[in-house]
């Protein structure tokens, strides 16, 4: 392990029982925004305004791939991923854990987004926090606990992207909207409580508008999709097929943003996945390719859609990651594995 100090720092973040400081979030958010704004154009083409585009293209850079589903404030999940030693055959060196592998450029990792907002496991906490909010308490005990886990997860993602910019990536999900805005493909979030507004007000109350805006800059610089030799990834199932140019310029297009982050089950156009796999990979053997996404929860390890070409991998009750081997057709029965200790 080359940088044990960072590994221990990430571990401390995952176990923290207090909120990260204002100055620390300001430091790591500013650092990661700079990294994202200057992403390597070999794999992230800029769109006309000179800003980083919405597509990561690794079709010419072959490495084993780890796909991380929706995080939803599970900092322990992130730490378990980094500590996980993959099955033999996934990496050339079977002794490495994933932190050591990404640190040394032996693997690429892509998270499908949705960093904040706990789901079913946090429903009672959201209810308590909602009651506190209704009483004018915007940073009460329940909300502080929620944000300890959420901000720890966010800072861990930022640290990994800053330290390993070519090998660790995070896509934008529908929850990457800390300003709780409506527009540009974003919509306010409300599920178990008024989570989107509650998080925004908490951040303003505890940290101030400067931190709120820095996190917003981070979100607005996240790519929307990633393509590899054998697969494509976005947060949600593509509502329709988008070509390369649309994806590169997609961060300024509300239709592209919403279609790759908010698509509900059974609302995508038939054939959107097959068309994108063909267009983006340039390959004709569609049945050997897969499109991965999270967003909607699944029962068990996965769900298959669009003639089995689209693989949904987000089960909030499990700590699963998806392994995409080099030179091997993906098998959901063996290549989705648990990292839970």
Over residues 288-302, the mean pLDDT reads 97
Place of tokens 């509650």: 198
CA–CA separation, 237 and 300 (whole Å): 18
How confident is the prediction for the chain on average, in pLDDT? 96
Say what percent of the chain tops pLDDT 90. Answer: 96
If one counts the domains in the chain, the total is 1
DSSP 36-101: HHT--TTTSPBPTTSSB-SEEE-TTS---EEEE---TT-HHHHHHHHH--PPTTSSSSTT--HHHH
Outline where 65-208 has alpha helix (H): 75-83, 98-103, 123-134, 141-163, 195-206
pLDDT over 80 (residue 104): yes
Element spanning 259, H or E: helix 254-261
Q: What is the pLDDT of residue 48?
A: 77
pLDDT in tens, 144-202: 999 999 999 999 999 999 999 999 999 999 999 999 999 999 999 999 999 999 999 99
Express each pLDDT in 240-294 by its tens digit. Answer: 999 999 999 999 999 999 999 999 999 999 999 999 999 999 999 999 999 999 9
Contact 280, 245 (CB under 8 A): no
Domain span at 202:
4-338
pLDDT of residue 47: 87
Banded pLDDT at 50 (limits 50, 70, 90): confident
CATH of the domain at 75: 3.60.21.10
pLDDT at res. 319: 98
pLDDT at residue 1 tops 90: no
């Amino acid at each position: 392990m080359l940088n044990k100090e960072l590994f221990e720092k990430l571990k401390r973040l995952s176990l923290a029982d207090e909120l990260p400081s204002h100055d620390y979030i300001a430091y790591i958010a500013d650092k990661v925004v700079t990294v994202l704004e200057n992403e390597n154009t070999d794999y992230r083409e800029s769109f006309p305004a000179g800003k980083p585009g919405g597509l990561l293209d690794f079709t010419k850079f072959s490495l084993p791939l780890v796909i991380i589903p929706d995080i939803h404030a599970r900092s322990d999940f992130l730490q378990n991923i980094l500590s996980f030693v993959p099955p033999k055959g996934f990496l050339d060196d079977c002794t490495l854990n994933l932190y050591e592998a990404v640190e040394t450029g032996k693997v690429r990792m892509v998270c499908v987004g949705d960093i904040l907002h706990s789901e079913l496991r946090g429903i009672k906490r959201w209810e308590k926090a909602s009651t506190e909010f209704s009483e004018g308490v915007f940073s009460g005990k329940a909300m502080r606990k929620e944000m300890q886990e959420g901000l720890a997860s966010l800072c861990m993602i930022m640290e990994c992207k800053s330290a390993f910019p070519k090998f660790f990536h995070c896509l934008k999900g529908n929850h990457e909207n800390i300003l709780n805005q409506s527009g540009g493909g974003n919509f306010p979030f409300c599920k178990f409580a008024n989570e989107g507004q509650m998080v925004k007000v908490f951040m303003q109350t505890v940290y101030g508008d400067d931190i709120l805006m820095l996190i917003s800059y981070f979100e607005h610089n996240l790519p929307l999709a990633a393509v590899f030799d054998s697969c494509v990834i976005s947060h949600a199932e593509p509502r329709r097929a988008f070509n390369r140019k649309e994806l590169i310029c997609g961060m300024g297009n509300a239709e592209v943003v919403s279609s790759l982050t908010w698509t509900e089950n059974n609302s995508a156009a038939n054939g959107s996945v097959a068309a994108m796999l063909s267009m983006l990979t340039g390959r004709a053997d569609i049945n050997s390719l897969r499109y991965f996404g999270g967003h909607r929860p699944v029962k068990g390890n996965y769900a298959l859609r669009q003639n089995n070409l689209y693989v949904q991998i987000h089960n909030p009750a499990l700590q699963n990651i998806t392994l995409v081997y080099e030179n091997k057709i993906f098998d959901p029965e063996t290549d989705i594995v648990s990292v839970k200790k």
